[in-house]
Chain A
Amino acid sequence: MYLLEHDAKALLAQHTIATPDGVMVENAHDIAGMQLPAGPWVVKGQITAGGRGKAGIIRKAQTREAAAEAAGAILGATVKGREVRAVRIEQQVRGAEEAYIALLLDAAEGAVRVIMSASGGMEIEAVPHDEIRSAVVPLAVDAIVKCMQELSAAWPGAKGRALREAGERLAHVFVEREAMLVEINPLFVRADGSWVAGDAKLVTDDNALPRQPEIKALLERRAAAYPEAAIKLEHGFDYVVVDPEGEIGLLTTGAGLSMMLIDELRQQGLKPYNFLDVRTGGMRGDPGRLVSVLKWMTEGKRIRVLLINIFAGITDLGEFSRLLVTALRDVRDLDVPVVARLVGNGLPEARPILEKGGVHLYTDLDAAVAEVRQILGRERGVAR
């Protein structure tokens, strides 16, 4: 789970990593009567993606009015397909130099890569190679701390000391919070040697949530900010709205096949609404999962057809079809034609059940997609 900057900073602060004073705001009108840290400020849109500066959702403000105006402009904007629902209003750090520090999981090595640079503030890819120090170390606090001490020795004075101190603390964050990535860029370093994390990027492991109660609590408290992880935690499967304007609701199982179907629909100029890996194996005779998904889809106001794609290696399609027809009957609000493409186990049994339930059944995926296109009144489109 890619944490919002505001949440990442709150977590870093618990590990005594200094961050500029800041507050989270969801409504620009609240700013007038709010207690803010001392100005001037930076107003920063909170989304789980990088490149926020380029996207125009990080703005400086000298006055409270300017901060409210910036927040008003940023809130509600859509960046990288995500709506900005909150801003962090943060005290500006001035008169400081910028450095860079990151730890990330090296998946191939099964180890941690530590990256440091005395230049920060830009994408690390843009920093000249000879200004970067990097090493791969075992996933253990002691080993990472030792590495931080060695790498930071490349820079004398305040910068080296700041990188070492921040690095030692980040070692604990990485191991104790079971992170996959933690990055501070820029790390502001003042002439007097004090330092503060200007930005914070933290990606944690959803699989570790059962033994990370604090991150789990954060997710439960602010489920709206992390809809995908919250659904996974509560329901045990994956659902992602990929295009709120989408016209095709997808009821699919399997992460790879679901992603591929979305890709192929888009290449044809069609607009899928969601990604879904419903995990039919976890349904265990209960239509609950399907009912939940269909209800969520009623939020997609432009959905005009439901496309089902299940490759049943193990799943029994007869049972799946019974549950599907029950769920479709339960969720009356999603009143759209249903096209299903099913292959595998129990297909002969599924056929009459679906026919009676008004579902158009195909065994060939391309034929099912062709019908979807016809329902939407689209000729085969061109790739974007």
Chain B
Amino acid sequence: MMNPRIDRATRVIVQGITGRAGRLHSRLMKEYGTNIVGGISPKMEMQEVNGMPLFPSCEAAVRATGATACVALVGAMQLLAAMREAVAAGIRYIVTPTEGMPVHDAVQALHLVRSAGVTWIGGSTPGMAVPGVAKLGFLPNDALLPGPLGLMSKSGTLSYESGYRLAQQGVGQSVWVGVGGDPVKGTRYADLIPFYAQDAQTEGLLIIGEIGGHEEEDFAAALTAQRFSKPVFALIAGSSAPEGVTMGHAGALVHGSHGSYASKRTALEAAGARVYATLDDMVRGVCGVLKKK
């Protein structure tokens, strides 16, 4: 079973830590509580970034620190190579926020992590968080609150908005996973159903989807097949998107009936999920079930 939970003992390294995003987000993650034990800098022009030691390779970093997780903040065209290096070094959990990984590279990456039994979240993900404990990536603190809701999302911003509004109503999250907006990805909604089913903290599950592909439909089928018994809520963006145009995310492309809003909504409702047309309705719906009196 794929288990996305991390805690403060999880040792994390950051690839691309000397870049602009790497410096900023390694610091923000550390401040939130994530146990960042080092970063990778092949050139080794410095010894440390924000007090975190640098290593010339993943292999050296893993040997020195015992790291098991990594966040790759490298360019899209370098991402596959970075993932290969991490897996070869023995990393078991990889989060790749980078946007724009070529899809054929993502296919190679998926085979790599599957054959090695490594958990991969991404690409084009804002990351994941166990609120109040630690986060990998850059989910904004304003939206994070410990609570009963399992949250999975393709979109970053729409999940921030949703998490933020729910948090303001007092409904927080158990484990928040940004599965990301790419068509081929390490972790799909359906992959995490067994985890959320047995996770004691999780009392309900919200998926934030969007048009394109058939990940929401696959998720709906898996809910039924696995008899998932906790309440499921869904918000799907893109009901009014034009056909044949990529809406920001590489995965968000409708052609013909393939990937359409109607197909997703129908499948989710048939599986017993509550599907909402607006953010406001979704917040009310989730609060109606999960908000403690």
Chain A residues near B (Cβ < 8 Å): 1-2, 47-51, 80-82, 105, 107-108, 110-111, 123, 125, 138-139, 175, 178, 180-181, 201, 203, 205-208, 210-211, 228-229, 238, 240, 242, 253-260, 262-264, 266-267, 275, 277, 281, 311-314, 343-345, 365-366, 383
Contact = CB atoms under 8 A, between A and B. Distances in A.
A125 B140 CA distance: 43
B264 interface: no
B241 A259 contact: yes
A108 B219 CA distance: 11
28 contacts: A50-B256, A80-B242, A82-B244, A105-B103, A107-B184, A107-B215, A108-B188, A110-B111, A110-B114, A123-B256, A206-B250, A208-B103, A228-B246, A238-B246, A254-B156, A254-B248, A255-B249, A256-B158, A256-B210, A256-B249, A259-B210, A259-B247, A311-B160, A313-B126, A313-B156, A314-B24, A365-B161, A383-B277
DSSP majority for the B interface? loop
Contacts of B214: 107-108
B77 interface: yes
A254 B155 contact: yes
A259 B100 CA distance: 19
Nearest to A226: B245
A253 B126 CA distance: 14
Nearest to B242: A81
A290 B154 CA distance: 26
A256 B155 contact: yes
B67 interface: no
Nearest to A364: B165
B244 A255 contact: no
Nearest to B278: A264
Q: Which of B110, B164, B255, B257 has the most CB of A within 10 A?
A: B255
B240 interface: yes
A203 B219 CA distance: 25
A275 B111 contact: no
A207 B101 contact: yes
Contacts, number: 190
Interface in B185-237: 185, 188, 208, 210-211, 213-215, 218, 235, 237
B40 to A, nearest CB: 22
Contacts of B188: 108
B218 A343 contact: no
B167 to A, nearest CB: 12
A139 B237 CA distance: 30
Interface string B253-275: 10111000000000000000000
Contacts of B102: 178, 205, 207-208, 211
B82 interface: no
Contact of B244 (A2, A111, A210, A242): A2
Nearest to B158: A256
B155 A257 contact: yes
A51 B254 CA distance: 13
Given A311-B160, A313-B140, A275 B248 contact: yes
Contacts of B255: 2, 49-50, 181, 201, 203
Interface in B163-194: 164, 181, 183-185, 188
A344 B141 CA distance: 10
A307 B28 CA distance: 30
Contact of B139 (A51, A260, A313, A383): A313
A13 to B, nearest CB: 22
Given A2-B255, A257-B161, A139 B140 contact: no
Contact of B100 (A203, A207, A253): A207
Contacts of B138: 313-314
Contacts of A208: 102-104
